A and B are shown apart, each in its own frame.
Chain A
Amino acid sequence: MTDMQSIYLLIPLLPLFAAVIVGLFGSQLPRSAAHVLTILGVGASFALSAYVFVDALQGNVYNGTVYTWLTSGDISFEVGFLVDRLTAMMMVVVTFVSLMVHIYTIGYMHEDPGYSRFFSYISLFTFSMLMLVMSNNFMQLFFGWEAVGLVSYLLIGFWYKRPTAIYANLKAFLVNRVGDFGFLLGIGMVLYFFGSLNYDAVFTIAPHLADATVSVIPNTEWSLMTMVCLLLFVGAMGKSAQVPLHVWLPDSMEGPTPISALIHAATMVTAGIFMVARMSPLFELSTTALSTVMVIGAITALFMGFLGIIQNDIKRVVAYSTLSQLGYMTVALGASAYSVAMFHLMTHAFFKALLFLAAGSVIMGMHHDQDIRNMGGLRKYMPITWITSLIGSLALIGTPLFSGFYSKDSIIEAVKLSHITGSSFAYFAVLAGVFVTAFYSFRLYFLVFHGKERWMEKPHEEHTPHTHEVAAHSDDEHHHVVHEEHHGLGPDDKPHESPWVVTFPLIALAIPSVIIGYVAIGPMLFGDFFNGVIFVDIHAHPVMHELAEDFHGAGAMAMHALTSAPFWLALSGVVLSWFFYMKRPDIPAAIKAHTVLINKILENKYGFDSFNEKVFAAGSRFIGNKLWQIGDVKLIDGLIVNGTARLIGRISGIIRQLQSGLIYHYAFAMIIGVFLMLTFWFAKI
C-alpha cells in the first residue's frame, strides 16, 4: 500500500474509529473524552483531506479497489475509492464543516445527557459521508447514501422523548427510502445494461448506449439513458429534498441545531447534487432527463422560498431557505452547468452552516425559544452572532463579492443561456427566487437582531408552529405535546452571547462565506479544475462554454452585477423587508388579513403533508388491514384452513356414530367384513 492509499483509507476510518470508541465506551469514559477523541479524528481527517486536495490540484487522480465485497459468478462488487478533484473538494468541505460543528457542539450540547452519543453520531456521519463521496462505484455510493440516511434518522430523533422528533425521523427515513427505491432500480438498470457498477467502466460504455432503448412496458420504447438518469434522480430528489420528496427536511429541524447545520444544510442534503454531477457522463446523454431535473429544481427553488416567508420558527426559515437553495443547485445541474452546481454547493455549505449555527447561538441566547416573534434587538447582546449572521445572510442573498453571489449569479446566467425544455420557466423561477430569498432572509435578520426587544413585553408563546402540526398529524400523540422543551427568557433575563466554542466556528465559517467565491470562481468554473471529472457535451449543451466567454474575472463580474436584474431584485427584497418589519409592521399583518386563501395554502405547505398522511400512510394501513382481516383471517384461515378442519370434523362426526361402544355391533361388523373378504378372495381365484 502506498502512502497515498493509506491516507485515503485513514480519512474515512479515523472518524469511524472515534465514533465506535465513543459510541461503545462513552458512558465509561470522562465526558471530555467524547469531544477530544472525535475532534482528533475529524481534525486529522480534515488535515489529510486538505493534503489530498493539494495533491489533486496537481492533477493526480486515484482510482482503486480497497477490497472485494462480494463475487457472484462473473459479477464482482468492490469497495474502492475514486479520488479526483470533485471528490477532493467534497472531502475538504465535509471534513471542514464537520470539524466546525464538532467544536460548536461542545458548547451547544454541554448540558445534554446524551453528550457522548451525539459526538459518536456526528463522527459516524462524517465517515458515512466520506464513504459516499469517495466511492468509485454505485454499490458503495448506495452504502454511503443509506448510511448518512441512518445517521440522519438517529440525529433527528436524538431527543427521542419528544413526539415531534420521533415523528420527524421516521418520516425522514421513509421519504428518503422512497427516493432510494428509485435509486436502487437505477443502479439495477446500470448493472444490467452496462455490466458493471464501477464508474469508470460505466462512463466508458455510456456513449455506446446513448441511443439504446428499453421496452419496459410491452410495445413501448423508452430511451435507456433517460430511464436510468430519471431513476437515479429520484434518489437525488429524496436525499436533496426536491419537490415532492422535500417534505422531510423542514421536520428534520427537530434534531439538535448542530446537525441541522452539518447534515441538513451543508453536506448530506447535497449528496444528490454531488451524485448527479458525478454522473454527468450519463445525464449529458439525455436531454429529457436534464429538462426534468431543471423543472423540478426550479419548482423547489421558487415555491419552497415562498414558504420561508411565513415561518416564525428561526430554524424553519433557514430550512426552507436550504430547500430553495438546493433547488438552485438542481436547476444548475439541469442546465448542464454541473460545475456551477458544485460551486454553489460549496459556497452554500459555508454560509448555510454559518446561518444554522448562528441560529443555534441565538436559540441558546434565547434559552431555547425559537420563535422569531419573541426576539428582536439581539445585536446588542450577541455581537459576534449578529455580525456573522449578517455575513451569512448577505452571502445567501447574493450580494456582490460575497461567495453566494458568484455561485448564484452563475446559476442564473447559466439558466438564461440554456435552451432545453423548461429553461424559460426555470429562468423565471430562479430570478423571482432572488427577491424571495432576500425578503425572507432579511425578515429573519431584522426580526432577530434589530428593532424592539420583544422578549420583554411578550414572555413567550407556548405554541410554536410545529407543535401544532404534529398534533394535527397524529391525534394519538396529542397529549405528549405539553412536554416540549421550550423555555424562553423570563421577564428579568437578558440574552447572552455564546461561549467561544460556539462563536469560533461562526467566525471560521464566515471567512470562506465571504471570500471563497471570489477566489474559486475562476479556476472552478472556467479553469481546468473539473477537467476530466465533469463531462459536458459541448455541442448539445454549450452553456458553460458561452458563460466562459462572458467571464472577465471575479472583480469585473461583481461590477457588472450592479447593473443586472438579480442585484436589484435582491436589494428590493431587503428594502421591502426592512420597510415591512422595521418601519410598518402593520402592513404585513394587513396583507395577511386580506390574503386568507394564499396564507392558508402557504401555512399548509401546499398540502403535501396532509396528502401524504391521508393517502399514502393511511392508505397503506387501510390496505394492510384489509389484506390481513379479509385475505389471511377470513379467506385463507377461515375458509380454507379451518374450513377444511370443520369439514373433516363434520364427516368424522357422522362416522363417529358407528362407534357405539356395543360389542355386538362390532362383532357383527367384523363378521360381515370377514365374509366380504372371503368373497373377494374366492372370486379372484
Chain B
Amino acid sequence: MTDLPILSLAIWVPILAGIAVLFTGGDKHAHIARWVALAGSIVAFLVTVPLYTGFDFSYGGFQFQELIEWIPAFNIHYHLGADGIAVPLILLTSFTTIIVVIAGWEVIQKRVAQYMAAFLIMSGLMIGVFSSLDAILYYVFWEAMLIPMFLVIGIWGGPNRVYATIKFFLYTLLGSLLMLVAFIYLFHQSGSFEVIDYYQMPLAMNEQILIFLAFFMAFAVKVPMWPVHTWLPDAHVEAPTGGSVVLAAIALKLGGYSFLRFAMPIAPDASAYLSGFMITLSLIAVVYIALVALVQQDMKKLIAYSSISHMGFVTLGFFVFNQLALDGAIVQMISHGFISSAMFLSVGVLYDRMHSRQIADYGGVANKMPKFAAFAVLFAMANSGLPGTSGFVGEFMVILGALQANFWYAFLASTTLIFGAAYTLWMVKRVFYGEVANHHVAELTDINKREFFILALLAVLVLGFGLYPQPITELTNATVNQLLMHLSQSKLPIGL
C-alpha cells in the first residue's frame, strides 16, 4: 500500500480526469462529460481513502512522503507528505468534488465539460496545497487553484460576476504576493525551500513578526478573517452552486490549514506574541459577522456571513494554544465543510426552481417541499451548532478550550449559541414556514432523487460526526500534540 505514491495519485488523478473530461467535446456530448466527470471524481476519492486506512495514528509527523528533485538550481523539490491535519482536509476535498459533480448534473447546461473539468482540476490543485512540503510547490498549487475558481465564477456566475471575480482575484493575489516574499526571504536565509527546514530555523523576533504578518496577509484573506472578508459574500452571491460549495467547504480551509502549516510553526514566538491580536480578530468575526448575518436579505449572503462567523472559531481555536481548542478548530473546519456545502446546495435547490435568492420572495416552502424542508431544518440546526450534529462538536471544543485561556474569550464566542440560531432559524422561518407566500412558491416541486441523494449523504455525515466525532480527532491528535510541543519551544536565536 505504502509503495504507491498515494498523494501524487490524489493530486493527479482528478487533474487528469479533468483533462479527459475536456476532451469529451462540446455540449452535444454533455452526458458523456458528466459520466466521465463522475467516474473521475469517484476514482479520485477512492485513491485518497488509503490515506485514512494506511495512516499511523500514533505518529505526528509527515506520512506518505514523496521526494523528487524538481528545479535543482534553486533547490526546489517535488516534496509531498501529509500529517494528521492534512489528511482529513484531503479526504474532505476529494469527497466534496463528487458532491459538486452530482450537484451540477442537469443544472449546468452550457459548457458542461469545462464546468466539470474546472472542479476536477481544482480538486487536484487543492489537494496539492494540502500535501506540499516544498514552499514553491505549495505556492504553485496555491496560485494555480485560483484560476479554475476564477473561471467558474466568471463563466457560470451571476449578473455581477465580473466585479466579484476581480475582487476575489485581487484580494487573494495581493495577500499571496507577500507570502511569496516571505518564502524568498526564508530561502535566502536557509538555502532551502523545504518547509521542514524552516521549522528548525532560528529566527529573531522582528524577523518572525514580519514573516508572520506576510503569511497573515495571505491566509487571513483566504479564511477569511475580519476585516479582509468582504470578497467572500460577493463571490458566493455570484458563484454557481458548485462554486459556492467548493469555496466554502474547501477553499476557506486552505487559509486555516496554512496557518497551521506555515505561519505558526515557522514563527512560533511571533504567533504567541500576536495571539491577542489574532484572537481579537477572531472574536470580532464571531460576534460582528453574526450580527451582520442577521440582517441579510439574500440567502447566499447570509450563509456566506455565517461561514465567516464559523471560521472565526477556527482561528480562535488556533491561537489559544491548547489541544482541545486546536483539535476543535480542525473538527470545525471539517464539519463546516459538510454543513456549508449542505446549506449552499439547499439554496441552490431553491434557486434552480425560483431563480431568486431573496428571502422575501419565499415563504411557506415547507407546504410544497416537505422532504426538502426536513433536510433544510436539519442543516439549519447543524449550522446553529445543535448537539448531535457535527456543527456542535468544533464549537463546543473551541469554547471549552478558549475558556481555559480566558473566560471572556469563551463568553464572546458562546454568543454564537444565540446569534447563530437567530440568523439561521429566522431565515428558516421566513423561507419555509407560514402559508404559501405567492404563486411561484405554489408551483414548487419537491426535491428529485439526485438532490435527495446528495442532501441525504451530507445529512448522514453531519449526524454521523455529530454522534461520533472520534475518527477526526484520532487522526489529528498526535499531530496537534506535536505541533503544540513545537510551538512551545522558542525559536529565537540563542543569546538574545
What residues of chain A have their CB less than 8 Å away from a CB belonging to chain B? 67-75, 139, 142-143, 145-147, 150, 153-154, 157, 160-161, 163, 166, 170, 173-174, 177-178, 180-181, 184-185, 187-189, 191-192, 214, 216, 480, 483, 620-621, 623-625, 627-628, 631-632, 636-637, 640-641, 645
* B425 part of interface (Cβ distance < 8 Å): yes
A625 B367 Cβ-Cβ under 8 A: no
Which residues from chain A contact B433 at a C-beta distance below 8 Å? 157, 160-161, 166
Task: Name the A residues within 8 Å of B388 (CB-CB).
Answer: 143, 146-147
* CB atoms of B230 and A637 under 8 A apart: yes
Q: Which residues of B contact A192 (CB under 8 A)?
A: 400, 403-404
18 A-B residue pairings within 8 Å (CB atoms) = A69-B468, A70-B470, A71-B474, A72-B397, A73-B322, A75-B323, A142-B387, A145-B387, A146-B387, A146-B392, A150-B381, A174-B422, A178-B418, A184-B396, A185-B414, A191-B403, A631-B288, A641-B230
Contact A620–B294 (Cβ < 8 Å): yes
Complex CA gap A624/B309 in Å reads 13
Contact across chains for A636 and B227 when beta carbons are under 8 A apart: yes
Q: B487 CB to closest chain A CB, in angstroms? A: 14
Question: In the complex where A73-B477, A174-B421 touch, is A188 in contact with B403 (Cβ < 8 A)?
Answer: yes
B399 within 8 A of A: yes
A548 to chain B, nearest CB (A): 40
Contact assessment for A143 and B364 in the assembled complex, using a CB-CB cutoff below 8 Å: no
Given A73-B323, A147-B388, A174-B421; 19 other pairs, CB 8 A cutoff? A72-B397, A72-B473, A146-B392, A147-B387, A153-B425, A160-B366, A161-B433, A170-B426, A170-B429, A173-B425, A177-B421, A185-B407, A188-B410, A620-B294, A620-B419, A624-B292, A624-B295, A632-B230, A645-B170
CB of A13, distance to nearest CB on chain B (Å): 13
* Min distance, Cβ B8 to any Cβ of chain A, angstroms: 32
Whether, in the assembled complex, B411 has its beta carbon less than 8 Å from a beta carbon of chain A, the answer is: yes
B376, CB-defined interface residue at 8 Å: no
B470 touches A69 (CB 8 A): yes
Q: Which residues of A have CB within 8 Å of B400?
A: 187-188, 191-192
Contact B292 A75 (CB under 8 A): no
In the complex, residue of chain A having the shortest beta-carbon distance to the beta carbon of B400? A188
B414 adjacent to A181 (CB under 8 Å): yes
Contact partner of A628 (CB less than 8 A), chosen from B292, B386, B393, B469, is B292
Which residues of chain B are within 8 angstroms of A645 by Cβ–Cβ distance? 170
| A170 engages B425 (CB within 8 Å) | yes
A216 interface neighbour in B171, B296, B407, Cβ under 8 Å: B407
Point out the residues of chain A lying under 8 angstroms from B392, CB to CB. Answer: 146
Q: Which residues of the partner chain A approach B408 to less than 8 Å between Cβ atoms?
A: 216
Chain A CB within 10 A, most for which of B167, B171, B293, B295: B295
Listed in ascending order, the chain B residues whose CB lies under 8 Å from chain A are 167, 170-171, 227, 230-231, 288, 291-296, 322-324, 327-328, 364, 366-367, 377, 381, 386-388, 392-393, 396-397, 399-400, 403-404, 407-408, 410-411, 414-415, 417-419, 421-422, 425-426, 429, 432-435, 467-470, 473-474, 477, 480-481
Q: Which of B323, B327, B328, B417 contacts A184 (CB 8 A)?
A: B417
CA distance A163 to B410 in the complex (A): 35
Known: A147-B388, A185-B410, A187-B400. A628 touches B295 (CB 8 A): yes
Q: Which residue from chain B places its CB closest to the CB of A73 in the assembled complex?
A: B323
CA A480 to CA B435, docked complex, whole Å = 8
Of the residues B167, B418, B467, B473, contact of A181 by C-beta under 8 Å: B418
The 10 closest A-B pairs by CB, nearest first: A73-B323, A624-B291, A188-B403, A143-B387, A624-B295, A166-B433, A72-B327, A624-B294, A160-B433, A628-B292
* In the complex, chain A residues whose CB is within 8 Å of the CB of B367: 161
Q: Which residue of B lies closest to A483 (CB)?
A: B435
Q: How far, in Å, is B224 (CB) from chain A's closest CB? A: 11
Q: How far is the CB of A167 from chain B (nearest CB, A)?
A: 8
Q: Do A623 and B291 contact each other (CB < 8 Å), given the known contacts A178-B418, A480-B434?
A: yes
> Contacts A70-B469, A160-B433, A216-B407 given: A146-B294 contact, CB under 8 Å?
no
Known: A185-B403, A188-B410, A631-B288. A70 touches B481 (CB 8 A): no
B393 cross-chain contacts in A, Cβ below 8 A: 70
Q: Which residues of B contact A178 (CB under 8 A)?
A: 418
Q: CA of A173 to CA of B425 in the docked complex: distance in angstroms?
A: 9
Q: Whole-angstrom distance from the CB of B375 to the nearest CB of chain A? A: 12
* Shortest Cβ distance from A192 into B: residue: B404
Point out the residues of chain B lying under 8 angstroms from A188, CB to CB. 399-400, 403, 410
CB distance from A359 to the nearest CB of B (A): 25
**Residue from the list B170, B403, B415, B434 in contact with A160, Cβ < 8 A:** B434
Closest residue of chain B to A227 (Cβ to Cβ) is B407
- Complex Cα spacing A145 to B396, Å: 14
Nearest A residue to B295, CB-CB = A624
Whether the Cβ atoms of B324 and A75 lie closer than 8 Å is: yes
> What CA separation (Å) do A304 and B459 show in the bound complex?
41
Report the Cα distance A70→B401, complex, angstroms: 14
Tell me the nearest residue of chain B to A166, going by C-beta.
B433
Quick check: B291 and A67 within 8 Å, CB to CB? no
Residues in B whose Cβ lies below 8 Å from that of A620: 291, 294, 419, 422
Given known contacts A161-B434, A188-B399, is B288 in contact with A180 (CB within 8 Å)?
Answer: no
CA distance A607 to B156 in the complex (A): 52
Complex formed: what's the CA distance from A160 to B373 in Å? 11
Q: Which residue on A lies nearest to B327, using beta carbons?
A: A72
Q: A71 to B328: give the CA distance in the assembly, Å.
A: 11
| Pairwise interchain contact B295-A621, C-beta atoms closer than 8 A | yes
Q: Nearest chain B CB to A283's CB is how many angstroms away?
A: 21
- Closest CB-CB distance, B139 to chain A, in whole Å? 24
Q: How far is the CA of A145 from the CA of B387 in the complex (A)?
A: 9
Nearest CB in chain B: distance from A628 CB, A: 4
Q: B435 near A184 (CB under 8 angstroms)? A: no
CB–CB B399/A72 < 8 A: no
Contact A73 B324 (CB under 8 A): yes
User: Residue of A at shortest CB range from B404?
Assistant: A192
Known: A71-B473, A160-B433, A191-B400. A185 touches B324 (CB 8 A): no
- Partner among A72, A180, A637 whose Cβ is within 8 Å of the Cβ of B417: A180
State in angstroms the CA–CA spacing of A192 and B429 once bound together: 37
Counting chain B CB atoms within 10 Å of each CB, which of A70, A147, A154 scores highest? A70
Shortest Cβ distance from residue B465 to the other chain A in the assembled complex, whole angstroms: 10
- Chain B hits for A157, CB < 8 A: 433
Verify B294–A621 contact, CB threshold 8 A: yes
Question: How far apart are the CA atoms of A163 and B364 in the complex, in Å?
Answer: 10
Residues of A within 8 A of B411 (CB): 185
Residue among A174, A177, A181, A187 facing the most chain B CB atoms (10 A cut-off): A177
Give chain A nearest CB distance to B379 CB in angstroms: 13
Task: Determine if B418 and A70 form an interchain contact, defined as CB atoms under 8 angstroms apart.
Answer: no
Q: Determine how close the nearest CB of chain B comes to the CB of A80; give it in whole angstroms.
A: 14
Point out which of B291, B322, B367 has the most chain A C-beta atoms below 10 A from its C-beta.
B291
Q: Hey, which chain A residues are within 8 Å of B328, CB to CB?
A: 72
Shortest beta-carbon distance, A230 to chain B, in Å? Answer: 13
Q: Once the chains are docked, how many angstroms separate the CA of A480 from the CA of B415?
A: 32
Task: Report the separation of the CA atoms of residues A68 and B170 in the bound assembly, to the nearest whole angstrom.
Answer: 46
Contact of A71 among B231, B415, B470 (CB under 8 A): B470
Are A68 and B291 within 8 A (Cβ)? no
A153 to B381, CA, bound (A): 11
Write out the residue numbers on chain B whose beta carbons fall within 8 Å of the beta carbon of A173.
421, 425
The answer to whether B435 touches A161, judged by C-beta atoms less than 8 angstroms apart, is yes
Q: A174 CA to B170 CA in the complex, in Å?
A: 39
Residues of B within 8 A of A185 (CB): 399, 403, 407, 410-411, 414
Chain A residue at minimum C-beta to C-beta distance from B373: A160
Give the chain B neighbours of A142 by CB distance below 8 A: 387
Residues in A with CB closer than 8 Å to B364 are 161
Contacts of A73 in B (CB 8 A): 322-324, 327, 477, 480-481
Complex Cα spacing A27 to B358, Å? 31
Bound CA span A483–B288, Å: 38
* CB-nearest residue of chain B to A619: B291
Smallest Cβ distance from B127 to chain A, in angstroms?
A: 26
Q: How far is the CA of A645 from the CA of B231 in the complex (A)?
A: 14
In the complex, what residues of B have CB within 8 A of residue A480's CB? 434-435
Residues of the B chain whose Cβ atoms lie less than 8 Å from the Cβ of A70: 393, 397, 469-470, 473
